[in-house]
Amino acid sequence: MERVFSFIDLRAFAADALAQGAAGGSWLEGRVELPLAPGPVTLSALRLAPGRGEVPALAGDEFVLVLTGSLTLAAGGVAVTLGPDGSAVVPRGLPLSWLAPAGATALVMRSAEEGGAGADALVAIDNDAPLSPSGAPLAELLLTPTPACRNNTLYTSASGTYMAGIWDSTPYHRRAMRYRHFELMLLLEGSVTFVDGAGREATFAKGDIFLVEQGADCSWESREQVKKVFAIYRPA
Protein backbone atom coordinates (compact mmCIF):
# COMPACT_ATOMS: atom_id res chain seq x y z
CA MET A 1 0.00 0.00 0.00
CA GLU A 2 1.39 3.40 -1.01
CA ARG A 3 2.33 5.59 1.92
CA VAL A 4 0.41 8.84 2.37
CA PHE A 5 2.72 11.67 3.42
CA SER A 6 1.18 13.61 6.26
CA PHE A 7 1.71 15.44 9.54
CA ILE A 8 3.55 13.82 12.47
CA ASP A 9 3.21 14.61 16.18
CA LEU A 10 6.84 15.02 17.20
CA ARG A 11 6.33 15.08 20.96
CA ALA A 12 4.63 11.68 20.66
CA PHE A 13 7.40 10.41 18.37
CA ALA A 14 10.12 11.52 20.79
CA ALA A 15 8.37 10.02 23.81
CA ASP A 16 7.98 6.66 22.07
CA ALA A 17 11.45 6.65 20.54
CA LEU A 18 13.35 7.59 23.68
CA ALA A 19 11.30 5.26 25.89
CA GLN A 20 13.03 2.37 24.11
CA GLY A 21 16.28 3.32 25.84
CA ALA A 22 18.42 2.73 22.75
CA ALA A 23 19.89 6.23 22.52
CA GLY A 24 23.51 6.42 23.67
CA GLY A 25 23.48 9.78 25.44
CA SER A 26 26.02 11.74 23.38
CA TRP A 27 25.39 14.27 20.59
CA LEU A 28 25.70 11.82 17.71
CA GLU A 29 25.05 8.51 19.46
CA GLY A 30 22.05 9.71 21.48
CA ARG A 31 19.71 9.90 18.48
CA VAL A 32 16.70 7.88 17.34
CA GLU A 33 15.78 8.81 13.79
CA LEU A 34 12.26 9.35 12.50
CA PRO A 35 11.61 7.27 9.36
CA LEU A 36 11.44 9.73 6.47
CA ALA A 37 11.80 9.41 2.73
CA PRO A 38 15.50 9.25 1.71
CA GLY A 39 17.01 12.67 1.13
CA PRO A 40 19.04 15.43 2.75
CA VAL A 41 16.65 15.92 5.70
CA THR A 42 16.74 13.83 8.85
CA LEU A 43 14.81 14.35 12.06
CA SER A 44 15.86 12.70 15.31
CA ALA A 45 14.92 12.52 18.95
CA LEU A 46 18.07 13.13 21.02
CA ARG A 47 18.83 12.08 24.58
CA LEU A 48 21.92 13.58 26.23
CA ALA A 49 23.37 12.04 29.36
CA PRO A 50 24.28 14.41 32.22
CA GLY A 51 27.59 16.03 31.39
CA ARG A 52 29.27 17.76 28.50
CA GLY A 53 30.78 16.91 25.15
CA GLU A 54 32.30 18.19 21.94
CA VAL A 55 31.56 17.38 18.31
CA PRO A 56 33.83 18.03 15.31
CA ALA A 57 32.58 20.14 12.43
CA LEU A 58 28.99 19.19 11.71
CA ALA A 59 28.21 17.84 8.26
CA GLY A 60 24.89 19.66 8.01
CA ASP A 61 22.88 22.54 9.46
CA GLU A 62 21.13 21.39 12.65
CA PHE A 63 18.01 22.97 14.14
CA VAL A 64 17.86 21.95 17.81
CA LEU A 65 14.65 22.22 19.85
CA VAL A 66 14.88 21.30 23.53
CA LEU A 67 12.12 19.10 24.97
CA THR A 68 13.28 18.58 28.56
CA GLY A 69 16.15 19.76 30.74
CA SER A 70 18.65 22.57 30.27
CA LEU A 71 21.09 22.52 27.35
CA THR A 72 23.93 24.93 26.68
CA LEU A 73 25.30 25.00 23.13
CA ALA A 74 28.41 26.83 21.93
CA ALA A 75 29.65 27.17 18.35
CA GLY A 76 31.60 29.86 16.51
CA GLY A 77 32.18 31.87 19.67
CA VAL A 78 28.48 32.14 20.56
CA ALA A 79 26.90 30.26 23.47
CA VAL A 80 23.23 29.97 24.45
CA THR A 81 21.45 28.11 27.22
CA LEU A 82 18.11 26.64 26.18
CA GLY A 83 15.28 25.36 28.34
CA PRO A 84 12.16 23.50 27.16
CA ASP A 85 10.83 24.90 23.85
CA GLY A 86 14.06 26.87 23.33
CA SER A 87 15.78 26.39 19.99
CA ALA A 88 18.87 27.30 17.97
CA VAL A 89 20.56 26.49 14.68
CA VAL A 90 24.10 25.12 14.62
CA PRO A 91 25.42 25.93 11.12
CA ARG A 92 27.29 23.26 9.21
CA GLY A 93 31.06 23.17 9.40
CA LEU A 94 31.28 24.43 12.99
CA PRO A 95 32.65 22.43 15.93
CA LEU A 96 30.03 22.23 18.67
CA SER A 97 30.33 21.94 22.44
CA TRP A 98 27.37 21.10 24.66
CA LEU A 99 26.57 20.99 28.35
CA ALA A 100 23.54 19.25 29.91
CA PRO A 101 24.08 19.32 33.69
CA ALA A 102 21.16 17.02 34.48
CA GLY A 103 20.72 15.50 31.03
CA ALA A 104 18.37 16.75 28.34
CA THR A 105 16.18 15.62 25.46
CA ALA A 106 15.68 17.46 22.17
CA LEU A 107 14.58 17.22 18.58
CA VAL A 108 17.21 17.74 15.88
CA MET A 109 16.26 18.52 12.28
CA ARG A 110 19.31 18.30 10.03
CA SER A 111 19.78 19.38 6.43
CA ALA A 112 22.76 17.71 4.83
CA GLU A 113 22.22 19.20 1.38
CA GLU A 114 25.47 20.33 -0.21
CA GLY A 115 26.25 23.99 0.22
CA GLY A 116 27.71 26.47 2.65
CA ALA A 117 26.58 27.62 6.06
CA GLY A 118 24.40 30.69 6.41
CA ALA A 119 26.26 32.00 9.48
CA ASP A 120 29.67 31.67 11.10
CA ALA A 121 28.29 31.11 14.62
CA LEU A 122 25.39 29.50 16.41
CA VAL A 123 22.04 31.28 15.85
CA ALA A 124 19.55 31.35 18.73
CA ILE A 125 15.86 31.43 17.77
CA ASP A 126 14.23 34.20 19.80
CA ASN A 127 10.56 33.35 20.37
CA ASP A 128 9.92 37.07 20.94
CA ALA A 129 11.79 38.35 17.89
CA PRO A 130 10.16 41.35 16.16
CA LEU A 131 8.08 40.38 13.11
CA SER A 132 7.53 42.13 9.78
CA PRO A 133 4.65 41.75 7.30
CA SER A 134 5.11 38.79 4.94
CA GLY A 135 3.30 37.05 2.10
CA ALA A 136 -0.08 35.39 2.57
CA PRO A 137 -1.35 32.03 1.23
CA LEU A 138 -2.29 31.97 -2.45
CA ALA A 139 -5.68 33.53 -3.04
CA GLU A 140 -6.93 30.52 -5.04
CA LEU A 141 -6.38 28.29 -2.01
CA LEU A 142 -8.15 30.47 0.54
CA LEU A 143 -11.66 29.67 1.79
CA THR A 144 -11.73 32.76 4.03
CA PRO A 145 -10.48 36.36 3.66
CA THR A 146 -6.75 36.89 3.20
CA PRO A 147 -4.96 36.78 6.56
CA ALA A 148 -2.33 39.22 7.83
CA CYS A 149 0.93 37.28 8.17
CA ARG A 150 4.25 38.31 9.72
CA ASN A 151 7.65 36.65 9.75
CA ASN A 152 11.24 36.85 10.94
CA THR A 153 13.60 34.34 9.34
CA LEU A 154 16.53 34.23 11.74
CA TYR A 155 18.65 31.67 9.88
CA THR A 156 18.93 30.86 6.17
CA SER A 157 21.50 28.46 4.74
CA ALA A 158 23.81 29.68 1.97
CA SER A 159 21.78 27.67 -0.56
CA GLY A 160 18.55 29.27 0.67
CA THR A 161 16.91 25.87 1.12
CA TYR A 162 17.02 25.58 4.92
CA MET A 163 15.67 28.24 7.23
CA ALA A 164 14.35 28.79 10.75
CA GLY A 165 12.52 31.60 12.49
CA ILE A 166 9.22 32.90 13.83
CA TRP A 167 5.89 33.44 12.02
CA ASP A 168 2.41 34.53 13.00
CA SER A 169 -0.94 35.04 11.30
CA THR A 170 -4.53 36.06 11.81
CA PRO A 171 -7.08 33.21 11.37
CA TYR A 172 -7.67 31.63 7.97
CA HIS A 173 -8.86 28.47 6.26
CA ARG A 174 -6.93 27.10 3.26
CA ARG A 175 -7.81 24.10 1.12
CA ALA A 176 -5.27 21.31 0.74
CA MET A 177 -2.00 22.07 -1.02
CA ARG A 178 1.00 19.91 -1.87
CA TYR A 179 3.93 20.64 0.45
CA ARG A 180 7.14 20.96 -1.58
CA HIS A 181 9.00 21.24 1.72
CA PHE A 182 9.49 19.71 5.14
CA GLU A 183 8.30 21.99 7.90
CA LEU A 184 8.74 21.51 11.63
CA MET A 185 6.49 23.74 13.74
CA LEU A 186 6.25 24.56 17.45
CA LEU A 187 3.03 26.43 18.20
CA LEU A 188 3.60 29.35 20.56
CA GLU A 189 0.02 30.64 20.31
CA GLY A 190 -3.29 29.41 18.94
CA SER A 191 -4.27 26.14 17.29
CA VAL A 192 -4.38 24.65 13.79
CA THR A 193 -6.44 21.82 12.29
CA PHE A 194 -4.97 19.81 9.41
CA VAL A 195 -6.65 17.28 7.10
CA ASP A 196 -4.32 15.17 4.96
CA GLY A 197 -4.77 13.42 1.62
CA ALA A 198 -6.20 10.30 3.28
CA GLY A 199 -8.79 12.31 5.21
CA ARG A 200 -6.93 12.01 8.52
CA GLU A 201 -7.58 15.04 10.73
CA ALA A 202 -5.71 16.41 13.73
CA THR A 203 -5.67 19.64 15.71
CA PHE A 204 -2.44 20.96 17.21
CA ALA A 205 -2.49 23.59 19.96
CA LYS A 206 -0.10 25.82 21.88
CA GLY A 207 2.97 23.83 22.95
CA ASP A 208 2.56 21.10 20.33
CA ILE A 209 5.42 20.25 17.97
CA PHE A 210 4.78 18.59 14.64
CA LEU A 211 6.24 17.98 11.20
CA VAL A 212 4.48 18.28 7.84
CA GLU A 213 6.29 15.97 5.44
CA GLN A 214 7.46 16.92 1.98
CA GLY A 215 4.89 15.55 -0.46
CA ALA A 216 1.95 15.82 1.96
CA ASP A 217 -1.38 17.21 0.77
CA CYS A 218 -2.74 19.10 3.76
CA SER A 219 -5.35 21.75 4.42
CA TRP A 220 -5.01 24.35 7.19
CA GLU A 221 -7.67 25.88 9.41
CA SER A 222 -6.93 28.29 12.25
CA ARG A 223 -9.75 30.07 14.06
CA GLU A 224 -7.55 32.27 16.23
CA GLN A 225 -4.21 34.07 16.03
CA VAL A 226 -1.40 31.57 15.49
CA LYS A 227 2.28 32.04 16.23
CA LYS A 228 4.95 29.44 15.59
CA VAL A 229 8.63 28.62 15.53
CA PHE A 230 9.47 27.03 12.18
CA ALA A 231 12.30 25.08 10.60
CA ILE A 232 11.88 24.49 6.87
CA TYR A 233 13.76 22.60 4.18
CA ARG A 234 12.52 23.62 0.72
CA PRO A 235 14.53 22.37 -2.28
CA ALA A 236 15.51 24.94 -4.88
Q: What value does the mean pLDDT take over residues 168-196? A: 97
Q: What value does the mean pLDDT take over residues 204-231? A: 98
Residue 225 has a CB neighbour count (10 Å cut-off) of: 13
Q: What is the pLDDT of residue 24?
A: 72
Q: What value does the mean pLDDT take over residues 101-118? A: 93
pLDDT band at 180 (very low <50, low <70, confident <90, very high): very high
pLDDT band at 115 (very low <50, low <70, confident <90, very high): confident
Q: Is 109 exposed, middle or buried (0-12, 13-18, 19+ CB in 10 A)?
A: buried
Q: What is the pLDDT of residue 186?
A: 98
Is 1's pLDDT higher than 80? Answer: no
Is 167's pLDDT higher than 90? Answer: yes
Q: What is the pLDDT of residue 21?
A: 66
Q: What is the pLDDT of residue 25?
A: 84
What's the pLDDT tens digit per position in 15-54? 999 987 656 789 999 999 999 999 999 999 999 999 999 9
What's the pLDDT tens digit per position in 41-93? 999 999 999 999 999 989 899 999 999 999 999 999 999 999 999 999 999 99
Q: What is the pLDDT of residue 88?
A: 98
Q: What is the pLDDT of residue 4?
A: 87
Q: How far is CA 212 from the centre of its chain?
A: 10
Statement: the pTM of the whole predicted model exceeds 0.75: yes
Q: What is the pLDDT of residue 114?
A: 84
Domains and CATH numbers, the chain: 7-116 (2.60.120.10), 132-233 (2.60.120.10)
Is 99's pLDDT higher than 90? Answer: yes
Report the DSSP beta bridge partners of residue 173: 221
What is the strand order of the sheet 41-48 is part of? 31-33, 41-48, 104-111, 61-69, 87-90, 123-125
DSSP, collapsed to helix, strand or coil, labels residue 95 as coil
